Structure 1
Amino acid sequence: MPFPEADSSLDLRGTPCPVNFIRARLALEGLEPGAVLELVLDRGEPEAMVLLGLEREGHAVSVQETTDDWLRLHVTCAGG
């Protein structure tokens, strides 16, 4: 269940690169522009690759929560 500020939620912990990025993109494709996707990712390579890829596609990404192992992001959909 997403946080109240999010329209949708996706937990990608344990999902390898580039599958995690592809799944995040597909989730965003199903959202309206301006909708917020709550995304949970492992730290390290997934964090770096997915954040960079989503920002390059024009989505706004903000970190909401972090631990030593994972982070929770809010991604505002830029639309198609």
Structure 2
Amino acid sequence: MTDAIITADDTIDITDVNCPITFVKTKVALDELDDGQILEVRLNSGEPAENVPRSVKEEGHAILAFRENGDGTCELFIHKVGD
């Protein structure tokens, strides 16, 4: 999406869990943030990298950036949108 530097308000690493727990942990972390804050999520490529961004969008949040790291992991930057 973009190569701009994004400063996250919080970061989680969910490379040690499988779907659907990947989205559950992401949702819990987003719930702890204030509206307008940014969450950085480090996750595995493949199913988590497909499902978590889709589920986050369905929840109404915005994806600011998605980066593949080249080591089988990705970074996802999510802008929390209020209810």
Listed as ranges, the gaps of 5+ residues in structure 1 are none
> Corresponding residue for 1:76?
79
> Corresponding residue for 2:39?
37
RMSD (Å) for aligned C-alpha atoms: 1.7
- Deviation of 1:29 after TM superposition, in Å, equals 0.4
CA deviation map 1:16-71 (0-9, x unaligned): 00001000001000111110001001000001111100011111112145324011
TM-score where L is the length of structure 2: 0.85
TM-score where L is the length of structure 1: 0.88
Report the count of equivalent residues. Answer: 78
Do residues 66 (structure 1) and 69 (structure 2) align? yes
Range with greater deviation from structure 2 (35-44 or 65-74):
65-74
Do residues 49 (structure 1) and 39 (structure 2) align? no
Q: Runs of 4 or more off by more than 6 Å in structure 1?
A: none
Identity, in percent, stands at 32
SS in 1 for 2:42: strand
